[in-house]
Structure 1
């Protein structure tokens, strides 16, 4: 045997060892292609990833591993051309297994040339990185959700602080205007100007409420409710609000589940969505309101931020308007974002809907196509509780009384207005500028029937703690809270703590009178002998 034969034997041994090495690799698909892209070798990793045995795939074109859309786009041939001309081809993309399932692959294709630079074929390495891609997407969604949560927390703190001060200012203005209205009663021009000013106060209060809604800081009063019954009861009012040019169609699923939500806020949300739809249709078209049961599965929850898989009641509002492009849909829930002309909208309607739904543990999604219209779907969590009766508005005449009321309010002007209003209603009124001062008056032994206290006041003693101590000292004391913003004081998870009563600022004279009288009467009912016998 000459040296040439020994060299060939050595190369043959090395080749066999290399083939054994490649065939033993299971984490990578490593195989050879001829110059036209047909498979000429196949390792165990390739069989594991793609599902084909060597006998099934050798001689077949490698493009069968690509998706139909990639094949139609010419990507397999382009990959070989790039590898040949540039020396390598690297990419990531979807590949298809024998069973039709897809996986996300990292692909490297290198050309193989003869010594005279003639193309012999290609070496191809594929790795399944589906899990890595999914992990990266989970991380990206988590980061996005964290940024959104941080943004909402920042906006919430800002809107909470602004709402507290703004609503106090509005309360001073509203209270004094209503006091002034009594002084100028019968003077038509003065009454008209006062009513115009009060209308501005109401608009300001609505704006503050919308900001709190978007920041998920509003106080909710949720009940177990059937949205089908609620929406059907709104049908006439909804048609009046939209005008004769809009045809309203409502569909409700049979066996509709209940949900746990603030009825007034659901009504506001539906009205906002309907008015947006009317504007998109320029006052003429068809509006469809659909209420049904829906289950959002784990896959859907993974694809959407802040969504828990589970059962929901869906409220969908669809229009036949002009639709929205994707870039507008992406910003639709941002506060003050609007595509309406100057003066035609604040850009807070959808923001309010978004904040309310999120604060209620739900989900909201916009589907829109230019030229065809828009559907907004609101999902509120299913409740297994029995539907609760919706309380009717109190239409009794507003009356005062002769009881003694302690007003605890740190804002001097708000306090003065409240005191004067209550005195005009016949009540005896005491006043304190902070919680410590209010508790000192309580402990002085003077007779007090009701404590009317702001929730947020400066000082070491918190208003809720003061109220609890006052009730311990004066059993039977009625308590009515008021505030422009109550975060984490007597409201938790967006809900007023059980057994407490709150009058939000700014409030009208009628609201104050009715709530004071109601709190006093309610306390009297609890203290009556009949109530003791019933509870016993």
Structure 2
């Protein structure tokens, strides 16, 4: 029994010793009374000594400060708390310093005196290095991901030879084959000519004076890709302070540059639109006077009157100005629209005959429409205007004839597409595309085609508002327009309207009545522009109405309170100082619940419209006002139609 126990204990001791050796853990036994410090074979190896050397040399491996740390850790132990732990730095005989972690316990005699300390020592340098290597590898992986996402690569230029050294990322950006090492001249040759002098000058200044550089330039790759890049470089010096090479980075910024240009263009169009809208609003009041008085005078003049032709020319010029003003308002997104659910394919076929009258016999019109296309929420008249303007633009691009194709389709604009096109919201859309086989456009022309008054036609052959009007209508309809063109090949305009699932509302055909437009009701007219107010008052009285007029909301409110009879209709401008037409109407309807209201304006003021869309249930007449249109709308509102 005893022999078996001895054998078992010996085997366990051997296994334990083997496990300790495999784990690279050393052990020590420190006789505190005699100062003798003994260590296991593993400890000698961990502390860089050959087993069997002078035992004192084990403690001599510790620097004085670390020997004091171990001594203090042991000294702090008490019979009640006999465990200790600390960290040590061990200096090997070759000067290498290794870090060790020490854990152990202290034995005490009957009197409470510390007599022996035993413990284990673990070399933590290897584990620390493994952890550091793992962190380095993880950081490198993250760096690779960041480099790929940022489309950036590094390069070196050796001096004075100016030999270039490119990373794989730079080669990928520039479409260079693997292993290609271009000379300095070959590397710069790939940039567009206008940027090459600046690049050479920046590199020379960096090499000669140590001046860092940061440039945004455009290059053309061997695959004919044109892209914007950011080129950065800084000097690297030797011990004497001389620049021996240039290190730098090349970043593909083409996508961000494109978005930046789209944003700048959008801001410019917005600023021009605000100006155009303000001018158009003022012109509408003037045109109301010009068109109305010329129309009334023409109605009273006999056909043989010598001044009739002159008045007709005035009226025709006013009509042309009215069309231009409407185009300015459409471009500036300040035209009041009345959207409804529209089937785009049906709308295209509805105006097909009119479109054919716009083009010449040498041009073929092809409709590539789908019956299953979704619905959109837009003003039908505005969508028709978009289509007509695009067809006219295509016609003018084909003086020798060709083909115009009109296509409708359901499309899904993805988040990736939206990221590359400023202002686009991803989601379902209905596309209207107009393609021609005409002369096409250059990139410089395409950058300006939506600017108002910009035209490539000869003087007198275009206003430059056709495509600007298209742009404004599309944006006001929450849509998106995209154009692609190649000189000598043709042009495609793609308009995307947001798709809707709302049902199509039945359309009510307007009543083309031949009955008289006269009336005897009392109308309260409120208009701050005196010329327009006098004009409208004259027109309405001419149709038999009793007209009370006021120049602002306060005066109108006082007039309504003092008038003893019934007021049937409030005819008010929307934009007025101190009190808007909407505020006035709400106060007066509170006093006179059966009062009907008709608004007149040429401007998208938010009291009756929101984002240019007329509020539901609002009766509205757009300026400029003409006598017959005014009389018809007044009669329509009074009759409750």
TM-score w.r.t. structure 2 length?
0.64
Residue number among 136, 156, 172 corresponding to 1:67 in the alignment: 172
- The DSSP-based 3-state class of the residue aligned with 1:71 is coil
TM-aligned CA deviation for residue 23 of structure 1: 9.0
1:346 aligns with 2:463: yes
Greater than 6 Å deviation, 4+ residue runs: 16-24, 43-50, 61-65, 79-83, 86-94, 104-111, 122-130
1:521 aligns with 2:639: yes
Contact 1:23 1:45 in 2 (8 A): no
Equivalent residue, structure 1, for 2:539: 421
Q: CA RMSD in A?
A: 4.2
Q: In the TM superposition, what are the counterparts of 1:83-102 in structure 2 within 5 Å?
A: none
CA distance in 1, matches of 2:506, 2:377: 13
CA distance in 1, matches of 2:214, 2:181: 11
1:446 aligns with 2:551: no
CA distance in 2, matches of 1:385, 1:349: 30
Q: Deviations over 1:262-296 (max 9, x none)?
A: 10011011100000100000162110000111111
CA distance in 2, matches of 1:367, 1:47: 33
Equivalent residue, structure 1, for 2:416: 299
CA distance in 2, matches of 1:267, 1:342: 27
Equivalent residue, structure 2, for 1:328: 445
Q: In the TM superposition, what are the counterparts of 1:230-245 in structure 2 within 5 Å?
A: 230-245=347-362
CA distance in 2, matches of 1:109, 1:470: 74
Residue number among 543, 548, 553 corresponding to 1:430 in the alignment: 548
TM-aligned CA deviation for residue 161 of structure 1: 2.4
CA distance in 2, matches of 1:213, 1:317: 20
CA distance in 2, matches of 1:81, 1:380: 47
Structure whose CA Rg is larger: 2
1:217 aligns with 2:217: no
- The DSSP-based 3-state class of the residue aligned with 1:25 is helix
Q: Deviations over 1:204-248 (max 9, x none)?
A: 111111111111111111111011000001111100111222110
Equivalent residue, structure 1, for 2:526: 408
CA change 1:418–1:78 in 2 (3 A) is same
Equivalent residue, structure 2, for 1:455: 574
CA distance in 2, matches of 1:18, 1:427: 98
| Higher alpha-carbon deviation: 382-391 or 349-358 | 382-391
Structure 2 unaligned blocks of 5 or more: 1-93, 99-125, 149-164, 188-202, 220-228, 239-243
Equivalent residue, structure 2, for 1:100: none
Equivalent residue, structure 2, for 1:493: 611
CA distance in 2, matches of 1:432, 1:81: 78
CA distance in 2, matches of 1:44, 1:183: 84
CA change 1:155–1:129 in 2 (3 A) is closer
TM-aligned CA deviation for residue 196 of structure 1: 2.3
CA distance in 2, matches of 1:389, 1:165: 36
Contact 1:160 1:487 in 2 (8 A): no
TM-aligned CA deviation for residue 252 of structure 1: 1.2
| Higher alpha-carbon deviation: 195-204 or 350-359 | 195-204
CA distance in 1, matches of 2:460, 2:486: 26
| Higher alpha-carbon deviation: 283-292 or 395-404 | 395-404
Equivalent residue, structure 2, for 1:196: 313
CA distance in 2, matches of 1:190, 1:48: 78
Contact 1:172 1:414 in 2 (8 A): yes
- The DSSP-based 3-state class of the residue aligned with 1:431 is strand
CA distance in 2, matches of 1:81, 1:399: 81
Contact 2:621 2:633 in 1 (8 A): yes
Equivalent residue, structure 2, for 1:505: 623
- Structure number with the higher helix fraction is 1
| Higher alpha-carbon deviation: 330-339 or 161-170 | 161-170
The number of aligned residues is 464
Residue number among 381, 406, 418 corresponding to 1:264 in the alignment: 381
Structure 1 unaligned blocks of 5 or more: 1-8, 30-42, 51-60, 95-103, 114-121, 526-536
CA distance in 1, matches of 2:290, 2:185: 76
